[in-house]
Amino acid sequence: MVIKKALYFLRRDFLEALSYRFAFFLQLGGVFFSILTFFFLSRLFGKNIPLLQPYGGNYFAFALIGIAFSTYLGVSLGSFSSSIRREQIMGTIESILVTQTPIPLLILFSSLYNFLFSSFHVILYILIGGLFFNVHLTVNFIAAFVFLFLAITSFASVGIISASFIMVFKKGDPFTWVFSTLNGLLGGVLYPVKVLPQGLQKIAYFLPTTHVLEGMRMSLLKGYSLKMLMPEWAFLVVFSLIMLPLSIYLFGKAVRKAKKDGTLIQY
């Protein structure tokens, strides 16, 4: 039944997205043009950049994976809170909360489509990069899959905490702002963490994005195994084990507060 519910959420969101046909196809076009921008940008730097040697030396390949997987971060941070906000604005939140589906599942499934669509984007980024822009990939599929899973669990926990803020304060979530700014700046999306000053490198070490991107780059560009990437995945496992239950607990508290204050449908 749980899988059926997940599939029905996917079906609902897919049908809704498809009903806005122009926007649906425009999003796909956006992927291609974003890749093109970074392809031309990479020509500025040339090949064999010393700081990028661990990743193969090619800036375009480095940036491509950084951008592709940072979309996961964006979706994870924004998707849960935007799903709640969307249900509040549409007026459907009470209708789904009065059903027999537990709240954690409702919040998880509401974001499923966005995660799936982002995965599709990531595949598209890598496919276009590999097929049209000569990005050389040496993929360790198992390692890449594990890092993808850990990226979702780590980022999702942060996203659920953000959704808890939205449930209580409706707007102005400081957590997402701080987290996304720090990750964009220090997480190694467009440049390696090693270019940062020592002090900032230490802060970067505590961000999940740093480890997700390192693991993804090494498993996709250099074919590193899970054994070789143990420090990265170990950090993400610990991060997820602490943050995921905490985020679900906080979200439950937030829903309870909204029910107590009578602000469940307010936005």
Choose which of 49, 97, 112, 148 interacts with another protein (CB under 8 A).
97
Which one of 22-30, 85-93, 210-218, 226-234 is the stretch in contact with another protein (CB under 8 A)? 85-93
**Contact between 234 and another protein per CB under 8 A:** no
**What's the rounded Cα separation, in Å, for the pair 247 and 208?**
15
- Cβ(150)–Cβ(140) below 8 Å: no
Asked if 131 touches another protein (CB under 8 A), the answer is: no
**Which of 41, 90 has the CB closer to another protein?**
90
Of 44, 99, 131, 198, the one binding another protein by CB under 8 A:
99
Please tell me the number of Cα atoms within 13 Å of 4 on its side-chain side: 2
Given 21, 22, 44, 100, the residue binding another protein (CB under 8 A)? 100
Pick the closer one to another protein by CB: 90 or 241. Answer: 90
Helix axis angle, 174-186 relative to 141-169, nearest 10°? 150
Which of 16, 25, 28, 43 is the binder for another protein (CB under 8 A)? 16
Q: Which of 29, 50, 197, 262 binds another protein (CB under 8 A)?
A: 262
| Number of C-beta neighbours around residue 22 at 10 A | 7
Of 85 and 211, nearer to another protein (C-beta) is 85
Closest by CA to 65, choosing from 257, 232, 215, 247, is: 215
DSSP state of 228: T
Distance CA 198, CA 202 (A): 6
Tell me the window of 60-68, 126-134, 225-233, 255-263 that interacts with another protein (CB under 8 A). Answer: 255-263
For residue 261 the two structure tokens come to: 């204050």
The least distance separating another protein from the CB of residue 15, rounded to whole angstroms, comes to: 6
Q: Which stretch binds another protein (CB under 8 A): 54-62, 96-104, 118-126, 244-252?
A: 96-104
Tokens found for residue 175: 């957590």
Contact between 170 and another protein by CB under 8 A: the answer reads no
Q: Is 265:93 a contact under the CB 8 Å cutoff?
A: yes
- CA 201 to each of CA 52, 66, 179: distance values in angstroms, whole numbers, following the listed order: 16, 17, 16
The smaller minimum CB distance to another protein, of residues 95 and 138, is found at 95
Among 43, 47, 136, 259, binds another protein (CB under 8 A): 259
SS3 readout for 62-104: HHHHHHHHHHHHHHHHHHHHHHHHHHHHHCCHHHHHCCCCCHH
- Least spacing, CB of residue 1 vs another protein, in Å: 6
Closest CB to another protein among 52 and 106? 106
Residues lying near another protein in the complex (CB under 8 A) are found at 1, 4-5, 8, 11-12, 15-16, 19-20, 90-92, 94-102, 106, 256, 259-262, 264
